[in-house]
Amino acid sequence: MNNEIVLRTSKGEYHLESAVCGAVYLNICRPTEANGIRITFKGGEKCCYEYEDDDGKKKQLKSESTHVDFSDVTLFSQNGYFDLGRYVFPFRFQLPKDIPGSFKCSGQTAKSSWSATVSYSIKACAIGAEDIQVIQPLVIYEAELEDLKQGQFTSAKDSSFEVSGFLPRMRKRVHVTAKLLDNYVECGSNVQLRLIITNPSKVKLTGFSIKLIRYLTLHMRDAPPCVKASGNMQFMNDACQISPESGPLVVRTVSGNSETIIIGNFSGGLDKLQLPLAENVPEGTRDVSPSVTGKHVKNQYGVEVAVTFSNDHTESFTLPISGVLPRTNTNWSRWRAPDWTFHCETKLSSCIFSVTEQMLRTEAFSGLPMFQVL
């Protein structure tokens, strides 16, 4: 049986400024030169845009940035090699406030293609036996805990128009009010919308549409001056801003007509209208990418609401979505702890990732093998 190493965090997803608690588990079942544990937490952003310029020449722009870099932190070390046995090395560190969330997207048109990622991971390895190593990706939400808690406290948006009559007192004002039921929604789920129409006039309601709009831009730093711009590119100083989807893109549309809604001078509400957070691609259907505000990629969403009446008037407005979050970390949730991780000797030390014995008895570590609260 080979020596084993396991890395486990207390959660699969983290919000900004939260504490990441976890542990490295080491099973030494044959002699080794390992004498410590080294841990690395890194996060970065990469962006690439390939296109054909107006002269037909193929061009490529790339940008990348590092958002966090705690490299090769010695979590624990000792003078001699590890004896045969099982060990656990707990750790804890704080996420910054101003980093972008986890993100991945790609796309293409007839003359261009693009990809962008924001990713984070923790790596642990044995000092002196670096082939004993493990990496765990982290899913980070671009939102603070308080924002997520207040997710259902959304703001309504109202629009109105006046329907004229033969006499001034016959004029009536029609109101259209819409409200998202959640500020933050997960990729692959549905945006839920409440639509309220107050119509005291004789004008009939004939239909409505709800569109998911995406605003995707790429920002390439240090763009070479020799690069010739295409129609969807703008140069500002030494940077290039690209709209790869040529401006706001309608990702999805849900509509209703006189057959699906109440006809006439309707006053009332359509509750929990569903707008899927998915898009059609040549291979079928896939989740939309999360929202993100990075250095090189910005991706935001809005819901455009349009209501049509029998006098050919259309009332429309857009509701911004505060955040489309990455899917939950299914690899983390499906993980099953090996039996040996429940029978380890705890090793503590002093470094920027270290924890105290008192911390190990808190709820933050209670979901990890060896530290469950009885």
What local confidence, expressed as pLDDT, does residue 56 receive? 80
Determine the pLDDT at residue 262. 46
Q: Is residue 137 pLDDT above 80, yes or no? A: yes
Q: Is residue 302 very low, low, confident or very high in pLDDT (cuts 50, 70, 90)? A: very high
Query: Residue 54's pLDDT band (boundaries 50, 70, 90)?
Result: confident
Determine the average pLDDT of the residues in 218-226. 72
Which one is predicted more confidently, 277 or 234? 277
Q: Which residue has the higher pLDDT, 57 or 45?
A: 45
Q: What is the pLDDT of residue 205?
A: 83
Position 148 scores a pLDDT of 82
Q: Where in the chain is the domain with CATH 2.60.40.640?
A: 4-146+327-365, 152-321
State the pLDDT at residue 265.
Answer: 42
pLDDT at position 292 over 80: yes
pLDDT band per the 50, 70, 90 thresholds, residue 225: low
**Which listed CATH number (1.10.10.10, 3.20.20.140, 3.30.390.10, 2.60.40.640) goes with 4-146+327-365?**
2.60.40.640
Q: Which residue would you say has higher pLDDT here, 294 or 147?
A: 294
**The domain defined by 152-321 carries CATH number 2.60.40.640:** yes
Ranked by mean pLDDT, the top range of 33-47, 51-65, 307-321 is 33-47
pLDDT band at 224; cut points 50, 70, 90: low
Q: Do 230 and 293 form a contact (C-beta atoms < 8 A)? A: no
Can you give the chain as a three-state secondary structure string?
Answer: CCCEEEEEECCCEEEECCEEEEEEEEEECCCCCCCEEEEEEEEEEEEEEEEECCCCCEEEEEEEEEEEEEEEEEEEECCCCCCCEEEEEEEEEECCCCCCCCEEEEEECCCEEEEEEEEEEEEEEEECEEEEEEEEEEEEEEEEHHHHHCCCCCCEEEEEEEECCCCHHHCEEEEEEEEECCCEEECCCEEEEEEEEECCCCCCEEEEEEEEEEEEEEEECCCCCCCCCCCCEEEECCEEEECCCCCCEEEEEEEECCCCCCCECCCEEEEEEEEECEEEECCEEEECCCCEECCCEEEEEEEEEEEEECCCCEEEEEEEECEEECCCCHHHHCCCCCHHHHCCEECCCCCCCCCCHHHHCCHHHCCCCCCCCC
Q: Average pLDDT, whole number, for the chain?
A: 88
Q: Is the pLDDT of residue 22 over 80?
A: yes
Q: Which residue has the higher pLDDT, 27 or 284?
A: 27
Residue 269 pLDDT: 57
The predicted structure's pLDDT at residue 195: 87
116 vs 228, which has greater pLDDT?
Answer: 116
Whether pLDDT at 263 is above 50: no
**What is the percentage of the chain residues whose pLDDT exceeds 90?**
59
Mean pLDDT of 65-73: 95
Q: Which of 75-84, 177-186, 250-259 has the lowest mean pLDDT?
A: 250-259
pLDDT at 18 over 90: yes
Model confidence at 166, in pLDDT bands (50, 70, 90)?
low
Q: Give 284's pLDDT tier (boundaries 50, 70, 90).
A: confident
